[in-house]
Chains A and B, each alone.
Chain A
Amino acid sequence: MQLATTSTHLIYFSSVSGNTARFVEKLGLPAERIPLFPSEEPLQARDPYVLVLPTYGGGEGRGAVPKQVIRFLNDEGNRNLIRGVIAAGNTNFGEGYCLAGDIIAAKCQVPLLYRVEVFGTPDDVQAVQEGLDRFWTQQSTTSR
């Protein structure tokens, strides 16, 4: 058995506009990026992680989760290690606001931890850092 790590491990996706990458960078936690292009080596999760992803969509909820993230989660090994999800988006998308987070939470049965707009305000960064601290401590004491 491995010792529980103190800081949360993050896995994230971000498109070429890079907002989510920028948010993750501000969190200052160990993080790995799901590759943008199918030609790149797929990412394989090795430790439990929290997923951070932006919401996209072609309307009516379809396409809200980026294809790259679907591909990543279709891998059972990756799927088994997800512990929570943080979604990015914009409230101006109305009903579609951060929908990717709801979809992943429901499909993987993990909590939607937080929602952030664009690349987040300093308050968002603080809220997520503190929230993850508590969440991860709880996780490593309750799980094997």
Chain B
Amino acid sequence: MTVTDPAHAIGKSIPLVRAVSAINWNRIHDDKDVEVWNRLVNNFWLPEKIPLSNDVQSWNTLTPEEQQLTMRVFTGLTLLDTIQGTVGAISLIPDAITPHEESVYTNIAFMESVHAKSYSSIFSTLASTPEIDDAFRWSEENVNLQKKAQIVLDYYTGDDPLKRKVASTLLESFLFYSGFYLPMYWSSRAKLTNTADMIRLIIRDEAVHGYYIGYKFQKGLEGASDERKQEIKDYTFNLLFELYDNEVQYTQDLYDSVGLTEDVKKFLHYNANKALMNLGYEPMFPKDVTDVNPAILSALSPNADENHDFFSGSGSSYVIGKAETTEDEDWDF
């Protein structure tokens, strides 16, 4: 069975909210709703803003094998964004604790559709129609990709609101990263840099999504009994293990031929830890398996390097920076 068309593939239906009240943004129950809404609105972007065509030359320097890998990775990401936009974010609306939370989910859902569509912009800029069709066919036939989609979809249509939030947070903060690795890798080698710019915008959006859904999960868990808390914790770790095993196979399948599997796995561990933290759980993977390749880390965040802070650097290399140019007017000095 294929789940590339998730809305039709579910079989079960997601409940809609039973009653709707007009949402009053002048009466706020949780300031986080406003803060996250504002951040999401400020972050808004469209693929048309990014000069992807500047990557055509660079694309032509990739081997056919590398091109195919890149296309496959991006169709995999397209599927996850489609699931999250069409099912995942929407499935969270009926259990929203505050009315404004509902609006945040509709914002997230729309942005996921933008993400999904943005990969098609990359494809149409860089590849031919048969190549594109080929990659989409691969996404429908790849066992591990279909499996991860199915695992997540099953929880989205299940009837436990907290489990839905766990599955959603793991998708936002963990499942994307086997794919995000590749554009960061190309970027670290000065390839497909405009594409990488676009992916960084997606990653930033996912960071807010994962934080927010994880936060609402923790709120929802607050009043639960110890027994229920234990049930949810066990479920979370079991689901993470299940998804992780599948991710490792997916990663091997994609990256073995280019020799990057071990590097990608470190990136997976590193992000799995942050997914757990978004849910309020202690990180699980130890330091020696989360030491992400520095080139990948600095492709993700140019400020992440070691000498940037006093304790991590060699000490003598540390210098206090100059004032930033962009400043808030609230400062009095």
Contacts of B287 in A (CB 8 A): 121, 123
> From residue A37, how far is it (CB to closest CB) to chain B in Å?
9
Q: A93-B207, A106-B321, A127-B312 given as contacts; is B304 within 8 A of A70 (CB)?
A: no
A131–B333 touching, CB < 8 Å: no
Residues of chain B with a CB closer than 8 A to A73's CB:
331, 333
Other A-B contacts than A56-B35, A95-B301, 19 sampled, CB-CB below 8 A, are: A15-B35, A59-B43, A61-B326, A65-B328, A70-B330, A73-B331, A73-B333, A74-B330, A74-B332, A76-B333, A91-B297, A92-B207, A93-B207, A95-B302, A105-B321, A107-B323, A127-B311, A131-B310, A135-B310
Q: How far is the CB of A109 from chain B (nearest CB, A)?
A: 6
> When A16-B31, A112-B310, A113-B310 are in contact, do A92 and B203 touch as well, CB less than 8 Å?
yes
A107 adjacent to B320 (CB under 8 Å) = no
Q: Which residues of A contact B (CB under 8 A)?
A: 15-17, 19, 56-63, 65, 67, 70-71, 73-74, 76, 79, 84, 90-99, 101-103, 105-107, 109-115, 117-119, 121-123, 127-128, 131, 135
A102 to chain B: which residues have CB within 8 Å?
A: 303, 321, 324
State which of B203, B311, B328 has its C-beta within 8 Å of the C-beta of A128.
B311
A57 lies within 8 A of B39 (CB): yes
Per-residue 0/1 for B23-38: is the Cβ within 8 Å of any A Cβ (1 yes, 0 no)?
0000000111001001
In the complex, residue of chain A having the shortest beta-carbon distance to the beta carbon of B298: A91
Number of interface residues of B (CB under 8 A): 48
Contact, CB under 8 Å: A118 / B274: yes
CA distance A19 to B38 in the complex (A): 20
Whether a CB of chain A sits under 8 angstroms from the CB of B318 is yes
Q: B287-302 interface mask toward A, CB cutoff 8 Å, 1 = contact, 0 = none?
A: 1001000000100111
B204 at the A/B interface (Cβ < 8 Å)? Answer: yes
CB-contacts of B204-255 with A (<8 A):
204, 206-207, 211, 215, 218
Q: Is the CB of B206 within 8 A of A70?
A: no
Cβ-defined contact, A119 with B331, below 8 A: no
User: B69 to nearest A CB, angstroms?
Assistant: 23
Known A-B contacts A16-B31, A102-B324, A106-B322; the reply to A94 vs B204 at CB < 8 A is: yes
- Of all chain B residues, which has the CB nearest A76? B333
> In the complex, how many residue pairs between chain A and chain B have their CB atoms under 8 Å apart?
132
User: What is the bound-complex CA distance between A14 and B317, given in angstroms?
Assistant: 30
Bound complex: CA A72 to CA B88 (Å): 40
B: residues with CB less than 8 A from A are 30-32, 35, 38-39, 42-43, 200, 203-204, 206-207, 211, 215, 218, 273-274, 277-278, 282-283, 287, 290, 297, 300-304, 308-312, 318, 320-324, 326-328, 330-333
Q: For residue B180, which residue of chain A has the nearest CB?
A: A92
Q: A16-B30, A106-B322 are in contact. Are A119 and B330 (CB under 8 A)?
A: no
Query: With A94-B301, A97-B304 as given contacts, are A16 and B309 in contact (CB-CB < 8 Å)?
Result: no
Query: Which residues does chain A contribute within 8 Å of B35, judged by CB atoms?
Result: 15, 56
Q: Which 9 A-B pairs have the closest CB atoms?
A: A131-B311, A92-B207, A118-B277, A61-B326, A74-B332, A91-B301, A97-B301, A111-B310, A106-B323
Residues in chain A near residue B332, CB distance under 8 A: 74
Closest residue of chain A to B330 (Cβ to Cβ) is A70
Closest chain-B Cβ to A52's Cβ sits at a distance in Å of 13
